[in-house]
Homo-oligomer: A and B are copies of this chain.
């Protein structure tokens, strides 16, 4: 077990789990659900930056990203914020699909796997 580290413990899940050279992040939703989809995306990406930093990683080491939008029509707005944030030379794999999220006020959720 010594090779598994768990960060940001919460009632339902850990915010991040490190195993070997791989970092798994929980699906993140905006801490401010009054924001529009661009604002929520920005909020989520800031949480991802902070969590990756805690794990000794950063966005240039992202491997794979899953994005859920409650309304796929928000795809272009989410992408505008996402591509401004992404490391242009080190883009992870990605899939973006539509799903309802844990509460209706959440417009976007992002879950990542990164290298350390």
Please report A residues at the B interface, Cβ cutoff 8 Å. Answer: 1, 3-4, 6, 9-17, 19-22, 24-27, 60-61, 63-66, 68, 72, 75, 79, 82-83, 90-102, 109, 111, 113, 115
Contacts and interface: CB of A to CB of B under 8 A. Distances in A.
A70 to B, nearest CB: 9
B91 A102 contact: no
B115 A14 contact: no
Given A72-B102, A98-B99, A93 B14 contact: yes
B115 A97 contact: no
Contacts of A60: 1
B64 A17 contact: yes
23 contacts: A1-B60, A3-B21, A3-B115, A13-B94, A14-B92, A16-B93, A17-B63, A17-B64, A19-B22, A19-B63, A19-B115, A24-B93, A25-B93, A26-B94, A27-B94, A72-B101, A93-B111, A95-B109, A95-B111, A97-B101, A97-B102, A98-B99, A99-B99
